[in-house]
Amino acid sequence: MQANLDDVLATARVVSIPLRVRFRGIDTREAVLFRGPAGWTEFSPFVEYDDQESAAWLRAAIDFGWSDLPPLHRDRILVNATVPAVDAADVPSILSRFPGCRTAKVKVAERGQVLADDVARVAAVRRAIGPEGRLRVDANTNWNVDEAEHAIRALEPFDLEYVEQPCATVTELAEIRERVSSLDVAIAADESVRKAEDPLAVARAGAADLLVVKAQPLGGVHAALRIAGEAGLPIVVSSALDTSVGISMGAHLAAALPELDYDCGLATTALLGGDVTTAPLDPVDGGIGVRRVEVDVDLLEHFTASPERTAWWLDRLRRTHALLG
């Protein structure tokens, strides 16, 4: 499962796809697509990530394009709607992009907003999905322990399945988990897995009830599968605003897990204003299929990044590839 730089560059195409809604401060998503013997694959670390962090994303891309897949246990993955930190009034139109999804994940603790904004947004989502819907929130590390406790108590009446990464550190996660242990709200770790020196530290510390696992930052389907197995906690597979090619990587990871009790964060093509394939892995009836994706040359052309951005990405690809062992 080695791919030299020339193999990668031979088919590499850089795309720039507009987002339908601003998400984590960006309104355009850039990605490199390339093809290995096993099929199309994606390299799309966020632009601010350094080469060291991006190396795991390249390892993942090469793993998906150059190696066989592990045995799969399912051919469809139930997915959550992903609701960015929008105004409560915009919630119904966001949710309409996720047909059939029984679960919604809502971004909270957005910088520049206040708790009342989160309460209003979460209330709007609960109203839209009804009492049977499953509702989870993601704070992306943005609360300290006191803020997290205050917010979780304010949001708890809307019946939360879990709170994803309420605070930044494993120590803080352990403390907030302890403080809200009398409430029926689980604590999930995301950044403490995908950005950690040791992705298993949070599980070992007993600081989370479940783990969010993403294929690209963890070095690929095989590496993420190993980490999930060693963690011994329930897993939610999620993505990073990938094109359908990157989502396909996540879908195969989700399909390879022996147990999958939670809906996955793999419906995010619904937030993109376009895709690289004519058969996208968009959510249908609350789920996505598990299959590889063939790119469409006209769509690659349509979303081709500028010469400057293309040069930037190919340069990044070269530097990052040099870091692989």
- Do the annotations mark residue 159 as ligand-binding? no
Task: Give the pair of three-digit tokens for residue 105.
Answer: 């994940």
**Residue 250 binds ligand OSB (CB under 6 A):** no
Q: Whole-angstrom Cα distance, residue 285 to residue 308?
A: 40
**Residue 248 binds ligand OSB (CB under 6 A):** no
Q: Mapping DSSP to helix (H, G, I), strand (E, B) and coil, where does residue 120 land?
A: helix
Nearer to Mg ion by C-beta: 195 or 319? 195
Return the residue of 238, 243, 244, 248 that touches ligand OSB, per CB under 6 A: 238
Q: Which region, judged by CB under 6 A, interacts with ligand OSB, from 47-55, 176-184, 238-246, 304-312?
A: 238-246
Please state, as a whole number, how many other Cβ atoms lie within 10 Å of the Cβ of residue 169: 15
Locate the DSSP E strands across the chain. 13-23, 26-36, 39-43, 76-78, 80-83, 103-107, 134-138, 160-164, 186-189, 210-214, 235-238, 287-289
- Do the annotations mark residue 190 as ligand-binding? yes
What is the pattern of x (binds ligand OSB, CB under 6 A) and - over residues 177-196?
-------------x------
24 interacts with, out of Mg ion, ligand OSB, none, CB within 5 to 8 A per kind = ligand OSB
Tell me the residue type at 112.
G
Q: Whole-angstrom Cα distance, residue 201 to residue 193?
A: 8
CB of 264 to ligand OSB, least distance (A): 8
The answer for 30, left when phi > 0, alpha when psi is -120 to 50, beta otherwise, is beta
Q: Which region, judged by CB under 6 A, interacts with ligand OSB, from 29-37, 237-245, 253-261, 276-284?
A: 237-245
- Do the annotations mark residue 242 as ligand-binding? no
Contacts (CB under 6 A) with ligand OSB, residues 13-72: 24
Active site residues: 107, 214
Distances (CA, A) of 32 to 19, 50, 59: 16, 16, 13
Nearer to Mg ion by C-beta: 53 or 294? 53
Strands ordered across the beta sheet of 235-238: 80-83, 103-107, 134-138, 160-164, 186-189, 210-214, 235-238
Applying CB under 6 A, the residues found at the interface with ligand OSB are 24, 80, 82, 105, 138, 140, 190, 238-241, 265, 268
Q: Which residues are annotated as a binding site?
A: 138, 164, 190
Which residues does the annotation place in the binding site for Mg(2+)? 138, 164, 190
